[in-house]
Structure formats: structure tokens, C-alpha cells
A and B are shown apart, each in its own frame.
Chain A
Amino acid sequence: MGFFDWIIKLLSEYWMLFLEGSGYTLAMAISGTIIGFLIGLIVAIIKTTPTDPSVNPIKRAVVRFVGWILTVYVEVIRGTPMMVQALIIHYSLFARIGIHPLLSAIIIISVNTGAYMAEIVRGGIISVDKGQFEGAEAIGLRHFQTMFSVVLPQAVRNIMPSIGNEFVVNIKDSSVLSVISITELMFMSKSAGGTYVQFVPAYVICAAIYFIMTFTVTRLLRLVEKRMDGSDSYVICGSQSDYHSMIKVKGGDDGCR
């Protein structure tokens, strides 16, 4: 039998395995990226809270202390392989208290992604023009109001490419979580190839599926970026007195008052 015949044979016999494996992989990558992003957001917000002398001393001490703990978290997680983290955390803790391996895997991948996201989001925040903070402060907005209404929307928009990157990395690197017995795509491909000892065709199928997933995710995120940018045109609303002579530059819903 030729190479392509093996591919077809494996696909027709074991498509369920590939499908199930892809399901696990996607479940881990999607939840890991979303939860990891939220963790990163919180960490970055805390770490960019001002601690200059004008802030009250108790708040400053708390922010500094929590910031120090978060630095340890970021450095330790980024400095060790996820596979090792998974083996240690799952078998010493989660497996003992009976947490399902998938949940365990999602927690591990989220905590891991969170450490990377924290630095990505922090970079996004400090790259927003200082004038944006000052413009908000000068009319009386407080730090967190400025953060949520003005700075974070711009920071998140700017780091969308990096978020996409983390998503793609998670799709691929979640394969290491088979060490805590998650039957994700990589593991399933190995099983599918095992029966006939045809590993290469199985892994080619596996690679193709990974590529389809990562490519789709990249394209989808591009679309999200476009949505965030909004349209390039806007509507000129006639002046109040001249309400009916509304000039439409382009596009649908005009939202004039």
C-alpha cells in the first residue's frame, strides 16, 4: 500500500480518534488562551498601578507586596517547562483530590499562558501614549477609570497579534499535556498509527489538522482586529438646525442625534 493509501485508510478507520483528539486540543487551547488572557490582564493592571509618593502608604505597600508575588509567579512559570509544571501540579495535587485530568490541564495551561500574557498586556499598557492618561486625569478621571475606559481598550487592540500568537502556541504546545493522560490530538495520532505501525502517515494527518486549526484561528483573529478598528469612514450629521440635510459619507447605521 502506498503512502496516500495509508493516509486514507487511517482516516477512514480512525477519524473518531482524530476528531476526539482535536476536540481536547481545542478545548485546552481556547480555554487556556481566554482564561490566561484574563489572568494576564489582572496581573498587568495590578503591576501598573501607580506607587508614587502621592498614593497613600498602606495602598502603596499592598500594591508593592502583591506586585512582588506576581513577579515571582511570572518568572517561575516562564522559567520552567509546562510539561514539568503539569507533572508536578497534577500528580502532587490535582490527581490526589480527584480533579478530572481535562480540568487539571485547563488550569495548568491557563496559569502558564497567564504568565506570558501578563508581560504582553503590561507591554501594551505602557506603550499607550502618556498623553492618554494625562488627558483623562486632567478632567478628573481616576486611575482605574482611565485604565478601563481609555487605556486598556487601546492596549488590548495593540496586543491582538501577540494574543493570537499565544493562541497558536497553545494549540500546538498543549500536546505536552498528554503526560497527564489527556487524549489530545498528538496522543491520538500516535494511537492511530500504532495498530499498523504506520506512524508517519498518522503524523502527517496530525500536522495537517494542527495547521488547519492554527490557520483558522489566525484568520479569525484578524477579523476581530478589523472589527475593533471600526470603519474608516464616519457620518457627518447635519447641524441641529439643519437636521434633515444629513450628509452620509458612507455606511449604514448613522447614529446621528
Chain B
Amino acid sequence: MSVIEVSHLRKVFGDNEVLHDISFSVNEGDVISIIGSSGSGKSTMLRCINYLEKPTSGQILFHGRDIASGDIRIPDYRAKVTMVFQSFNLFNNLTVLDNCTLGMRKVLGISRHQAEEAAVSHLATVGMDAYIKAKPRQLSGGQKQRVAIARALCMKPEVILFDEPTSALDPEMVGEVLNVMKLLASGGLTMIVVTHEMAFARDVSKRVIFMDKGVIEEDNTPDVIFNNPEKQRTREFLSRVLE
């Protein structure tokens, strides 16, 4: 059974229908890249999956159960399907270490000592364990994003949603973050990644979803999407971004 299934998802802001009837499913260990032009609804879809936005209609199923049904509490669900943002959103008042332990202590109820131990090991995974005492404002963009990824890992999530994790970074820092993401992908983590990094979408993901104007235009393997797309719109989009 799929870990996450998005079923007939619609989202309307005012009278602007941003997502029309989105459906797809994600299996355990899948790395799915979402590509598409600006304003096509990629972030909104990801935010609906994390329930930061409430779907107007349709369902998000987690292991087959509708997350809106009350079977699972939204905060507990979010700890399992957590999110990494373009703008990092690290807690500015806390050190790197406390950024990582806060969720474990408050949401998972882990003791401070154990949380710190786990946090240091996840920070080591992203190469940031030397910076446990630093505050976010003292870090570079790439470092912040790696800490944000460690913070997400600390929740022992089943899925991590990434919303353009490298778009706010200077070009020389993009690589360090993508390397961490590749490492997680090869470790079997389930990931849904909204990205403009076509090389990542092509080389790392198992499936690529192309979104256009609030619908899924094409959902295919990277090989088909990049070498022989079925849809004209996919072809047009890729020729624009890959030139």
C-alpha cells in the first residue's frame, strides 16, 4: 500500500482555483520530483500534503487513512510527514542543537539527553555537528538548509516534503544541500521534492511529476520525461528550462 495517496485534491483561494483534481500516490522509498513553472501550484500542493493548507476538497491518505478523519492527530501526522522549506524557517532564537531537539522533546516526548544524542548524529549526517552551539543567523544559507534537513530527520519521519530547498541559495551552496538529499534518497527515505534542479530530478528521482496550471500534466519516469515526454506541454517546459 502507498504511504501517501493524494486523491482528487482541489484547493481554492477566494475565487482562484489553484489546484484542480490532483491525484497521485507515493510508495515507500520513492523519491518523487515535482517540476513545473512558477505559479503552477507546486508549493500549494506540498503545503496541502503537510496540512499547512486545508484542501478545499479531496483527500490526503496516509497509509490508506484520510488525515482529515481524525484517526490521526494532525501534529502527529506532521511529525511523520514533515517539511523542509525554501526559506529554511529555522527557529531564530534557538541554537542549531535546540532547533533539532525541540520537536523530539515536545512532539515525540523524548528526554533532553536522548534528543541531544540523536540530534548530534543527524547533524553529523548533514555535516553540521560541529555547529551545535551556533545560532541560525551565524550560518550560511547552505548550512541553514542542512540544519533544517537534520531537524526534519530528527522527527524520524516516514516522508520528507521539500519545497525548492535550494532555490534561495547561492550557486556554490546548492551542491552541498543536493548531496545531502542524494544521501537520504540512497538511504531509502521517501521524499517528495519540488525542484528547479533538473539534474536532481533526472538522476535521483524514481518518478517526475510535471505540473502545469494546477493539474498534473504528466507523471512518469525521469527517463521518459526527459528523453521522450508524452505531452507537448512537458516538452515545451523542459526545452525552456534546459536550454
A interface residues, Cβ below 8 angstroms from B:
53-54, 129, 131-132, 134-142, 145, 149-150, 153-154, 157, 230, 232, 234-240, 254-257
- Do the beta carbons of B90 and A140 come within 8 Å of each other? no
Q: A140-B155, A142-B75, A234-B138 are in contact. Are A135 and B132 (CB under 8 A)?
A: no
A8 CB to nearest chain B CB (Å): 51
- Cβ contact within 8 Å between A236 and B85: no
- The verdict on B25 contacting chain A, using a C-beta distance below 8 Å, is no
13 contacts between A and B (CB under 8 A): A132-B91, A135-B90, A135-B91, A140-B75, A141-B75, A154-B93, A230-B135, A234-B133, A234-B134, A237-B129, A237-B130, A240-B120, A257-B132
A52 to chain B, nearest CB (A): 8
Residues of chain A lying within 8 A (CB to CB) of residue B90:
135
Q: Is the CB of B54 within 8 A of A138?
A: no
Contact between A139 and B91, CB atoms less than 8 A apart: no
**70-94 of chain B: CB within 8 A of chain A:** 75-79, 82-83, 85, 87-94
- A132 CA / B90 CA spacing, docked (Å): 7
Q: How far is the CA of A131 from the CA of B90 in the complex (A)?
A: 8
Q: A141-B103, A257-B120 are in contact. Are A234 and B82 (CB under 8 A)?
A: no
Contact of A150 with B83 at beta-carbon distance under 8 Å, contacts A234-B135, A237-B129, A257-B132 already known:
no
How many A-B pairs with Cβ below 8 Å? 102
Is A140's CB under 8 angstroms from B133's CB? Answer: no
Starting from the known contacts A135-B85, A234-B131, 8 additional A-B residue pairs (CB-CB under 8 Å) come to: A53-B54, A135-B89, A139-B78, A139-B152, A140-B77, A154-B93, A237-B130, A257-B120
What CA separation (Å) do A234 and B147 show in the bound complex?
16
Name B131-145 residues within 8 Å CB distance of A: 131-135, 138
Is B89 within 8 A of A254, CB to CB?
A: no
The 5 tightest CB contacts between A and B, nearest first, are A135-B89, A140-B79, A138-B83, A131-B89, A140-B107
- State in angstroms the CA–CA spacing of A149 and B102 once bound together: 8
Interface membership of B151, Cβ < 8 A = yes
B interface residues (Cβ-Cβ under 8 A, vs A): 50, 52, 54, 75-79, 82-83, 85, 87-95, 102-103, 106-107, 116, 120, 124, 129-135, 138, 148, 151-152, 155
- Which A residues lie within 8 Å of B135 (CB)? 230, 234
B129 contact from A138, A153, A234, A239, Cβ within 8 A: A239
Partner of A138, one of B78, B130, B138: B78
B79–A139 CB distance below 8 A: yes
Across the interface, A239 reaches (CB within 8 A) one of B54, B92, B93, B130, namely B130
Are the CB atoms of B52 and A140 closer together than 8 Å? Answer: no
User: Are B79 and A131 in contact, CB atoms less than 8 angstroms apart?
Assistant: no
B107 near A131 with CB under 8 A, answer no
Contact between B75 and A257, CB atoms less than 8 A apart: no
Would A157 and B93 count as touching, CB distance under 8 A?
yes
A58 to chain B, nearest CB (A): 16
A54 touches B103 (CB 8 A): no
Chain A residues contacting B76 (CB-CB under 8 Å) are 140
Q: Kindly report which residue of chain A lies nearest to residue B76, judged by CB atoms.
A: A140
Are B85 and A136 within 8 A (Cβ)? no
Residues of B within 8 A of A238 (CB): 130
CB distance from A68 to the nearest CB of B (A): 25
CA distance A154 to B92 in the complex (A): 8
Which residues of chain A are within 8 angstroms of B88 by Cβ–Cβ distance? 131, 135
Instruction: Give every chain B residue within 8 A of A239 (Cβ-Cβ).
Output: 124, 129-130
Which of chain A's residues has its CB closest to B80's CB? A140
CA distance A53 to B53 in the complex (A): 12
- B85 partner, pick from A138, A140, A157, A234, beta carbons under 8 A: A138
